């Protein structure tokens, strides 16, 4: 089965041709400019490399409600040129094939659940911590949608006692993204994350915030694995710090085999940087089989 995948990011677009087994035969990357500049060469890529279905894992917010007149649209994104862009419609009208659609982080979660660190699990969370913070949630074998899609990167947190930083998010003074994403770390400490690697206090505070989010997810959606990815998690010293904070915050309340083995429960991605594009392949396959 020849499938197309598009991981649509705010900085770059990754396109691939592959199959339902996760084998990728061809890949192309384009910078994300305006829709008028970016969409036509992406359509041309799939016209030159015909596929039976396409999966799009897209930056958001997006409309995932198939009964909505704006299903398949990028909606209130801060990338103003892309607001109200019918990205699904553009590909459907040009290629005349089924197009699966979800958020970029749900796509990454699906990729990890199919081929990576959560393979074989029905319930998992993928958290990306980079320029922003996003979460993809798989529950009962299904990616979570609802009124729209999870925006758990903006869950509200208790500030660290030593944190005087005002927060980077323009909407919330104390949300996860505003306190723990890359720009917040850089603005708070006056340097990029890679330059702050030796400073223990930076990563202890970061772990304090990430652990609050993980605990909230444990208590609400009860995932069988939590995967932490994204650029900031290249600071690998964060993983043991987050696990220790999670253990402290839960204080023995949840008693499961997973809680006794946090090293494998709170883990890094299993697919490197390919979880998004592989998840998009699976979105294509799901849409093809239900078309």
- Is-contact 117 225, C-beta < 8 A? yes
- Whether residues 228 and 145 share a domain: the answer is yes
CA distance linking residue 109 with residue 142, whole number of Å: 10
State which residues form the domain around 42: 3-106+273-290
Cα angle: 59, vertex 64, 70; to 5 degrees: 95
Q: Residue 199 is encoded by which pair of tokens?
A: 């400073």
Rounded average pLDDT over 7-23: 96
Span 31-56, pLDDT tens digits: 999 999 999 999 999 999 999 999 99
Span 110-162, pLDDT tens digits: 999 999 999 999 999 999 999 899 999 999 999 999 888 889 999 999 999 99
- Whether residues 30 and 135 share a domain: the answer is no
- Whether residues 245 and 278 share a domain: the answer is no
Q: Is residue 22 part of a domain?
A: yes
- Whether residues 280 and 200 share a domain: the answer is no
CATH number at residue 166: 3.30.420.40
pTM of the full predicted structure?
A: 0.95
């Amino acid at each position: 089965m020849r499938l197309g995948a598009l991981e649509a990011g705010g900085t770059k677009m990754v396109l691939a041709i592959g199959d339902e087994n996760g084998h990728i035969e061809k890949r192309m990357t384009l910078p994300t400019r305006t829709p008028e500049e970016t969409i036509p060469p992406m359509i041309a890529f799939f016209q030159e490399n015909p596929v039976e279905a396409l999966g799009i894992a897209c930056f958001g917010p997006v409309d995932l409600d198939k009964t909505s007149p704006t299903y398949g649209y990028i909606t209130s994104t801060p990338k103003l040129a892309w607001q109200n862009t019918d990205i699904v419609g553009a590909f459907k009208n040009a290629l005349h094939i089924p197009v699966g659609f979800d958020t970029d982080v749900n796509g990454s979660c699906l990729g990890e659940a199919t081929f990576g660190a959560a393979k074989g699990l029905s319930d998992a969370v993928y958290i990306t911590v980079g320029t922003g913070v996003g979460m993809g949630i798989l529950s009962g074998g299904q990616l979570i949608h609802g009124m729209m899609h999870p925006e758990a990167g903006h869950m509200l947190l208790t500030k660290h006692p030593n944190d005087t930083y005002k927060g980077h998010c323009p909407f919330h003074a104390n949300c996860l993204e505003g306190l723990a994403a890359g720009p917040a770390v850089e603005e708070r400490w006056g340097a990029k994350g890679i330059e702050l690697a030796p400073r223990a206090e930076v990563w202890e505070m970061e772990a304090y915030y990430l652990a609050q989010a993980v605990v909230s997810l444990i208590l609400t959606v009860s995932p069988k694995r939590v995967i932490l990815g994204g650029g900031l998690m290249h600071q690998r010293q964060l993983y043991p710090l987050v696990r220790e904070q999670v253990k402290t915050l839960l204080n023995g309340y949840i008693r499961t085999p997973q809680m006794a083995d946090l090293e494998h429960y709170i883990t890094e991605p299993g697919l490197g940087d390919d979880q998004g594009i592989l998840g998009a392949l699976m979105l294509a396959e799901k849409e093809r089989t239900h078309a």
